[in-house]
Amino acid sequence: MGNSHFTTRSAILAFVAAAAVASVCHAAAPAFFGAGPVGWGKDVTGGTGAPTSNIFIVSTLADLQTAAKKKVSPKIIFVKGTIDATVDASGKSKSAATYAAGYDIQTYASSCFTSDGLHSVSSSTCTTQKNLASSGGNAQSADIKIALTDNTSLIGLGSDAKLLGVWISLNKVNNIIIQNIFFEAPRDIFAAWDPTDGDTGNWNSQYDAISVHSATNVWVDHCTFTDGRFPDPSAPLIFKRVQYHDGLIDITVGGDLVTVSNNIVMDHDKTSLIGNGDSKTSDRGLLRTTYYGNMFRRTQSRTPRVRFGQVHLFNNLYYGEIGSAATYPVFAFIGIGVESQIVSESNAFEIDGASNADFAAHTTVIQGGTQISDTGSEFSSTGTSVISGLTLNGVAQSAWVASNHTGSISTVATWTPSSKYSYTVGSKGFANIKSAVLANAGVGKLTVTYTGATGSL
Ligand SMILES: *[C@@H]1O[C@H](CO)[C@@H](O)[C@H](O)[C@H]1NC(C)=O
Ligand SMILES: CC(=O)N[C@H]1CO[C@H](CO)[C@@H](O)[C@@H]1O
């Protein structure tokens, strides 16, 4: 309360077509939350200014595919209602058989690996299963992948636009807006077991809700992301729990100039990866990303996990759970990876019932990095009262380092966000940050209408 940037609950994005040209405006949006992207993605315009021939309203996966493939620019794709890529046109759930009849994950696992999962073995059954996984994977990818083109906005109409099981691929494209959409994370039906990943192997999957791969100028705003109907604990146990999900918003291979704002990001493990390899030094100077006004709720890790990038986190609300009853127990909110340059300002961290040592163990994890700077973040183990003296980089620094971090970490910022772009830290203090984010984040907080003509699909 008391801060005008945060008190306006909803903004109206009205898209009204006049004559041949749609006037696309963010009318009446509050200065901070809705007007336009702040931060590294500040220059994003997406499909703004699209003529009506380049404006499409889609309600089916097929129409979304068609609209995405149109080679026109600038372009606006409005999503109306629910598009569910996990079911076929008759409403039947897609399964391995949909994409590769004869594939069975249990048969794949038992024919390709020793019973402890630690070693690969070969057999003709394994070869058959791997071939089916490969062709099935290609078929699933072609089915659920929506590759957007330059200068595109993908925006949910009203407050109930949903993309379920869809993979939005931003691959070598520039200038994209994604707004006001509920995303249920896609699942890779052909998840692969890697016995050499970690000490005891791991399942890995291919699809993110949104992949920013070598793409630049991207703004993801006022969306909701979740595993939804397919929470990780519902997956089968084969060696370990099968992990059908990859990231929600992953930024890799030279992705750059990205803003992720005002989203609810919840019930997921590997949430937002920035940089996918310690040896990818070509990412130096890139992967620049700003996150503000987001709620990360019951996310296990990577909010975000950063390599190389200058990453700015401000006014985000983190809500984690620990303990045996947690469905998505937090491993660590922020991953400090190789050459990462994270500047954190006025974030709110909540883990109910957590001790100071729990916060120290779960707020950050050092994964090859050497630096993080923070000012103004606060911690609460009750959801209301703030733990005094517990800071990310302040007096309790020794506790952070001692609890789980080998070596020391610099708390001095290596870059200054205000020298790169103008922004306002809208809320300060745990309670103000929490109430502002709860009031503003996620799908349905913008009211998006469009009454004009559309192009033909
Ligand atoms: C995207 O928009 C920019 C700025 O108007 C323009 O220069 C560029 O050619 C557009 N890209 C495509 C593929 O049309
Ligand atoms: C005490 C504590 O939180 N230990 C954790 C340190 O980090 C490793 C992984 O990097 C975890 O496995 C430990 O549980």
Percent over 90 (pLDDT), the chain: 82
Confidence of residue 388 (pLDDT cuts 50, 70, 90): confident
Provide residues with CB under 6 Å of ligand 1. 73, 150-151, 175
Taking the CB of residue 241, how many other CB atoms lie within 10 A of it? 14
Task: Report whether 272 contacts 334 (CB < 8 A).
Answer: no
Which atom of ligand 2 is closest in space to residue 362's alpha carbon?
3
Q: What is the pLDDT of residue 391?
A: 80
Report whether pLDDT(393) > 70.
Answer: no
Confidence of residue 390 (pLDDT cuts 50, 70, 90): confident
Q: What is the pLDDT of residue 35?
A: 66
Ranges 22-31, 112-121, 368-377, 410-419: which has the least confidence: 22-31
Report whether pLDDT(21) > 50.
Answer: no
Confidence of residue 110 (pLDDT cuts 50, 70, 90): very high
pLDDT tens digit sequence for 137-166 = 999 999 999 999 999 999 999 999 999 999
- Ligand at minimal distance from the CA of 47 is 1
Q: How far apart are CA 156 and CA 82, in angstroms?
A: 10
Report the interhelical angle of 105-112 vs 124-144 (nearest 10°).
Answer: 140
Confidence of residue 447 (pLDDT cuts 50, 70, 90): confident
Confidence of residue 301 (pLDDT cuts 50, 70, 90): very high
Q: How far apart are CA 194 and CA 201, in angstroms?
A: 5
345, β-bridge pairs:
314, 375
pTM over 0.85: yes
Which atom of ligand 2 is closest in space to residue 367's alpha carbon?
10
Q: Whose CA is nearest to atom 3 of ligand 1?
A: 151
Q: Which residue's structure tokens are 């009205």?
A: 14
Q: Would you please indicate which residues are annotated as catalytic (active-site) residues?
A: 302
Residue type, 118: L
What value does the mean pLDDT take over residues 371-377?
Answer: 91
Q: Is 8 in the pocket of ligand 2 (CB under 6 A)?
A: no
Confidence of residue 189 (pLDDT cuts 50, 70, 90): very high
What value does the mean pLDDT take over residues 382-405?
Answer: 68
What value does the mean pLDDT take over residues 191-205?
Answer: 97
> How far is the centre of ligand 2, averaged over its atoms, from the C-alpha of 404 (Å)?
6
At residue 277's C-alpha, the angle toward residues 274 and 278, to 5°, is 105
Q: Is 361 in the pocket of ligand 2 (CB under 6 A)?
A: yes
pLDDT tens digit sequence for 303-315 = 999 999 999 999 9
Q: What is the pLDDT of residue 405?
A: 54
CA distances to 177, 224, 247 from 233, in Å: 32, 20, 16
> How far is the centre of ligand 1, averaged over its atoms, from the C-alpha of 356 (Å)?
51
> How far is the centre of ligand 2, averaged over its atoms, from the C-alpha of 202 (Å)?
17
pLDDT tens digit sequence for 222-268 = 999 999 999 999 999 999 999 999 999 999 999 999 999 999 999 99
Q: What is the pLDDT of residue 409?
A: 78
> How far is the centre of ligand 2, averaged over its atoms, from the C-alpha of 111 (Å)?
33
Domains and CATH numbers, the chain: 4-90+144-450 (2.160.20.10)
Of all helices (H) and strands (E), which one includes residue 237? Answer: strand 237-238
Confidence of residue 31 (pLDDT cuts 50, 70, 90): very low
Q: What is the pLDDT of residue 17?
A: 38
